[in-house]
C-alpha cells in the first residue's frame, strides 16, 4: 500500500498537523516505505498466533472504587491560558 | 412504494461508581466546574490510567443479565479525535475485544406481542467533558468534571422496525440497568443517552438502506419523535429521486426536526489502536460466578412472580416491575395491607398519578410505602371507605401525617354504628315517599339514590355496603 499526497493531507488534518505543501511528496514517499515494511511482515503466517494487545504478558491491575483525589482546580488552572468561573476557556468550537 | 424502517440503537449509560473509570476523582453530579477533574482526567503529561474494579464488575453483571458472552480477556483501545473537551486527544474505549458480546433483550410491544432484540456488544469507555458555548466573549468554556466518568456503551443489532419498538427497547434497557444497580438511569442528568441509527428500505428488500445516525436523544418521548421525523425525511428524499447521505444528524426537540451535523467519519478515521497504558482486562470463571451470585431478580422474572404470587394481571405486573423502586414500593404496601390487588391499584393509579402530576420520582414520594400500606389497612378493616381514602391520600401527600393521624384529626372514621346510620336513613326515607314507592315497585336504580343521600348526609363516612343492606331490610326488599 502506498500513500499519495491526498492521503498525507488527510492524515495531517486528522492529527491537526500543519504540513508544508512542498514537504508532502517527501512524507508520502517515507510513509509509503514504512507501510511497505509492514506489508513485508504481513507475509508471515500468523494463523495460530493470538493477536497481542500489549508487549507485557501481564493482566491489568484494578483499583478499588474509592475517591482518592481532592480538588486541585486552582493549582491546575495556573497552567491554563484563560479561565473564567472555574471553566477553561478555549477558542470557540461549534459543531 | 411501501417502506420498511430499520433501527439500531447505541445507548450510553453512565455507571454508578463513586470514582472515575481511570482515576480516583469523584463522579458526583452537579459539582462546581473542574473541581472533580484530576491530573489523569486533564490528560496532563506523565499520568497513567488505573482501571476501577467496580466498572469491570458492573459490565460483567450486565453481560450476564442479557445472556451475553463476558470476555475472559478484553482490551482497551484509543479512539483518536480532537475536541477541546477531550484533553488527551483520544478517548479510551474498547474496539476489537469488548468486554461483552452477543446478548439479547426481549421487548414487549403495545399489542402484547414480544420480540427479541440482539445486543451486538457492550464496551467500557470514558466520558468526555462538557463544552459550554454560552457567552464567554466568543470563547468556549470547558468543564472536565465529566471527563473520565465510566460509560457502558450498549450497541444493538439493527433489529427494530419502528420507532415504537425502539422506545420499548430503550425503556427495557433502562429498566434493566437500574435493576442491576449499575446506573442511576437519570436521563435529565445524562446518565442514560441514546443515539439511533436509522435507515429505510423498500419492503421485501434484503440489503439495508443508507443509514443516518441521530444524536442527542435524551428522553423516551424524543427517541420516538426523532426517529419518526427521520424516517419521513428519508422516505421523502428517496421518493423524490434523491439519495440518503451517510451522516450524523442532530435532533432538535424544540423544532421537532433533525438536521445535518457532520458527514459520518469512517471508523478508520478514529485510528483505533490498543492503549499501551493499559493491559488486557481479565475476568476469570470464578469471578464471573461470584458476579452471577449478586444478580438481583430481573424485571421479567419479577413480573412473572407478581402474576403468579399476587394474582396480578400482566399489565398491572408490567407497570409495577418497570422499575425496581416501584416494585419494591408495591411489595412493601402489599405486605403491610395484605391485599395485593388493592395495593397494585393504588400504586398504579393514585400514586402514579400524583407522582406524575408533581413530576416526582417514586424515591421522592411524600407518601412512603409504609404510609400507603397503613392507609389501605384502614380500608380493609372498614375504618374508612374507598372514597374517604382518596381524601386521606391527598392529605398524606400534602404532608399532614400518616393515615391514622389524619383520620383522627379530621374525624374521618367510617360510621359502623348501625344505629347512627339507621337514624339518617329513616329521615331520608321519610323525606322521599315517592322514591320509596318507586323502589318498592321494582325500580332498583333508586337504591343508588338512597345510598348517595346517606353518604352525603354523613360526609362520606357511612359504609355504602352497610347502607345498602339496612335499606333493603327497612323496606322489606
> What pLDDT digit, counting tens, does each position of B43-90 carry?
999 999 999 999 999 999 999 999 999 999 999 999 998 889 999 999
- Cell numbers at residue B42, please? 486533564
Give the per-residue pLDDT at B183. 96
The pTM of this model reads 0.82
Residues 6+ positions from B177 with CB-CB distance below 8 Å: B13, B62, B152, B183, B185, B192
Contacts of A90 in chain B (CB under 8 A): 84, 139-140, 142
Which of 279-308 (B) contact A at CB < 8 A?
Answer: 279-282
Residue B258 · residue B249 · CB < 8 Å: yes
Residue B147 scores a pLDDT above 90: yes
Q: Is B34 helix (H, G, I), strand (E, B) or coil?
A: coil
Determine contact: B106 vs chain A, CB below 8 A: no
Instruction: Give the pLDDT mean for B193-205.
Output: 94
Residue B166 scores a pLDDT above 90: yes
Residue A70 scores a pLDDT above 70: yes
Contacts of B42 in chain A (CB under 8 A): 76
Determine contact: B241 vs chain A, CB below 8 A: no
Largest Cα–Cα distance of chain B, in whole Å?
Answer: 97
Inside any domain, residue A25: yes
Determine contact: B48 vs chain A, CB below 8 A: no
Q: Do B37 and A73 touch (CB under 8 A)?
A: yes
Which residue carries 420516538 as its cell?
A: B224
Inside any domain, residue A24: yes
Give the per-residue pLDDT at A69. 96
Q: Which domain holds residue A19?
A: 5-43
Determine contact: A71 vs chain B, CB below 8 A: yes
Of A16, A64, A94, which has the smallest distance from its Cβ to B133's Cβ?
A94
Round to whole Å and give the CA distance between B300 and B48: 42
pLDDT tens column, B61-70: 999 999 999 9
Largest Cα–Cα distance of chain A, in whole Å?
Answer: 58
Determine contact: B97 vs chain A, CB below 8 A: yes
pLDDT tens column, B348-357: 999 999 999 9
Q: Do B35 and A95 touch (CB under 8 A)?
A: no
Round to whole Å and give the CA distance between B175 and B11: 13
Which of B101-115, B121-135, B193-207, B247-261 comes out lowest in average pLDDT?
A: B247-261
Q: Which residue has the higher pLDDT, B408 or A59?
A: A59
User: What is the number of domains present in chain A?
Assistant: 1
DSSP conformation class of B351: I
What is the side-by-side strand order in the sheet with B90-94?
B90-94, B76-80, B273-274
pLDDT over 90 percentage in chain A: 63
Quick one: pLDDT band at residue A24, thresholds 50, 70, 90? very high
Sign of CA dihedral B359, B362, B364, B368: positive
Quick one: pLDDT band at residue B267, thresholds 50, 70, 90? very low
Which CATH number is A21's domain given?
1.10.20
Inside any domain, residue A34: yes
- Cell numbers at residue B253, please? 426537540
Instruction: Give the pLDDT mean for B334-347.
Output: 93
Q: Do B141 and A88 touch (CB under 8 A)?
A: yes
Q: Which residue has the higher pLDDT, B443 or B240?
A: B240
Determine contact: A41 vs chain B, CB below 8 A: no
Give the per-residue pLDDT at B87. 93
pLDDT tens column, B421-464: 788 888 888 888 888 888 888 888 888 888 888 888 777 777 77
Inside any domain, residue A35: yes
Chain A: give the shortest CA distance to residue B89, in Å: 9
Round to whole Å and give the CA distance between B74 and A59: 10
Q: At what angle do helices B314-321 and B324-337 cross, to 10 degrees?
A: 120
Determine contact: B133 vs chain A, CB below 8 A: yes
Residue B221 scores a pLDDT above 90: no
Contacts of B82 in chain A (CB under 8 A): 16
Q: Which helix (H) or strand (E) holds B106?
A: strand B100-108
Inside any domain, residue A61: no
Which of A58-67, B195-204, B350-359, B439-448 comes out lowest in average pLDDT?
A: B439-448
Residue B266 scores a pLDDT above 50: no
- Cell numbers at residue B215, please? 444524536
Phi-psi domain of A42 (left: phi exceeds 0; alpha: psi -120 through 50; beta: other): alpha
Which residue carries 374521618 as its cell?
A: B412
Which of 333-392 (B) contact A at CB < 8 A?
Answer: none
Inside any domain, residue A48: no
Give the per-residue pLDDT at B264. 52
Mean of the per-residue pLDDT values of chain B: 90
Inside any domain, residue A33: yes
How many beta carbons lie within 10 A of that of residue A27, not counting itself? 19
Q: Do A63 and B274 touch (CB under 8 A)?
A: no
Inside any domain, residue A80: no
DSSP conformation class of B37: -
Instruction: Give the pLDDT mean for B314-323.
Output: 91
Give the per-residue pLDDT at A94. 63
Give the per-residue pLDDT at B434. 86
Amino acid at each position: 500500500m502506498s500513500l499519495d499526497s491526498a492521503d498525507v493531507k488527510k492524515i495531517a488534518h486528522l492529527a491537526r498537523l500543519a504540513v508544508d505543501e512542498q514537504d508532502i511528496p517527501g512524507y508520502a514517499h517515507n510513509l509509503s516505505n514504512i507501510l511497505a515494511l509492514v506489508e513485508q511482515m504481513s507475509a508471515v503466517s500468523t494463523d495460530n498466533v493470538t493477536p497481542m494487545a500489549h508487549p507485557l504478558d501481564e493482566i491489568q491491575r484494578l483499583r478499588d472504587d474509592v475517591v482518592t483525589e481532592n480538588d486541585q482546580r486552582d493549582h491546575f488552572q495556573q497552567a491554563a491560558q484563560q479561565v473564567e468561573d472555574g471553566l477553561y476557556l478555549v477558542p470557540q468550537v461549534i459543531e | 412504494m411501501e417502506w420498511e424502517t430499520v433501527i439500531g440503537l447505541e445507548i450510553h449509560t453512565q455507571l454508578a461508581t463513586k470514582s472515575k473509570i481511570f482515576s480516583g476523582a469523584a463522579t458526583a453530579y452537579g459539582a462546581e466546574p473542574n473541581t472533580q477533574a484530576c491530573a489523569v482526567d486533564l490528560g496532563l503529561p506523565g499520568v497513567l490510567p488505573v482501571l476501577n474494579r467496580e466498572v469491570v464488575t458492573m459490565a460483567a453483571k450486565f453481560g450476564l443479565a442479557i445472556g451475553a458472552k463476558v470476555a475472559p480477556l478484553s482490551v482497551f483501545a484509543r479512539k483518536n479525535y480532537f475536541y477541546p473537551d477531550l484533553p488527551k486527544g483520544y478517548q479510551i474505549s474498547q474496539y476489537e475485544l469488548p468486554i461483552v458480546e452477543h446478548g439479547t433483550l426481549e421487548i414487549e410491544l403495545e399489542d402484547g406481542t414480544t420480540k427479541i432484540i440482539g445486543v451486538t456488544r457492550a464496551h467500557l469507555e470514558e466520558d468526555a467533558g462538557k463544552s459550554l458555548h454560552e457567552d464567554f466573549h466568543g470563547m468556549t468554556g470547558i468543564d472536565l468534571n465529566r471527563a473520565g466518568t465510566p460509560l457502558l456503551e450498549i450497541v444493538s443489532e439493527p433489529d427494530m422496525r419502528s420507532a415504537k419498538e425502539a422506545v420499548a427497547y430503550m425503556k427495557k434497557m433502562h429498566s434493566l440497568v437500574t435493576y442491576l444497580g449499575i446506573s442511576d438511569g437519570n436521563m435529565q442528568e445524562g446518565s442514560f443517552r441514546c443515539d439511533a441509527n436509522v435507515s429505510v428500505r423498500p419492503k421485501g428488500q434484503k440489503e439495508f438502506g443508507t443509514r443516518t445516525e441521530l444524536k442527542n436523544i435524551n428522553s423516551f418521548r424524543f427517541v420516538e419523535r426523532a426517529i419518526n421525523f427521520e424516517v419521513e425525511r428519508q422516505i421523502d428524499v428517496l421518493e423524490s429521486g434523491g439519495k440518503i447521505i451517510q451522516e450524523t444528524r442532530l435532533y432538535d426537540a424544540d423544532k421537532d426536526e433533525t438536521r445535518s451535523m457532520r458527514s459520518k467519519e469512517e471508523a478508520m478515521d478514529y485510528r483505533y489502536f490498543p492503549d499501551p497504558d493499559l493491559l488486557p482486562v481479565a475476568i476469570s470463571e470464578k469471578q464471573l460466578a461470584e458476579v452471577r451470585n449478586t444478580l438481583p431478580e430481573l424485571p421479567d422474572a419479577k413480573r412473572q412472580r407478581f402474576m403468579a404470587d399476587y394474582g396480578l394481571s400482566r399489565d398491572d405486573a408490567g407497570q409495577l416491575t418497570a422499575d425496581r423502586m416501584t416494585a419494591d414500593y408495591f411489595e412493601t404496601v402489599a405486605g403491610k395491607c395484605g391485599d395485593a390487588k388493592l395495593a397494585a391499584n393504588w400504586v398504579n393509579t393514585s400514586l402514579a398519578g400524583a407522582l406524575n402530576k408533581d413530576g416526582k420520582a417514586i424515591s421522592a414520594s411524600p407518601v412512603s410505602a409504609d404510609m400507603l400500606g397503613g392507609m389501605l389497612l384502614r380500608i380493609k378493616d372498614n375504618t374508612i371507605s374507598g372514597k374517604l381514602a382518596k381524601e386521606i391520600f391527598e392529605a398524606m401527600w400534602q404532608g399532614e401525617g400518616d393515615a391514622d393521624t389524619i383520620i383522627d384529626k379530621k374525624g374521618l372514621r367510617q360510621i359502623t354504628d348501625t344505629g347512627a346510620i339507621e337514624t339518617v336513613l329513616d329521615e331520608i326515607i321519610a323525606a322521599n315517599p315517592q322514591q320509596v314507592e318507586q323502589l318498592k315497585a321494582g325500580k332498583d336504580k333508586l337504591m343508588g339514590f338512597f345510598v348517595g343521600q346517606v353518604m352525603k348526609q354523613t360526609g362520606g363516612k357511612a359504609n355504602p355496603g352497610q347502607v345498602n343492606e339496612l335499606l333493603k331490610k327497612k323496606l322489606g326488599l
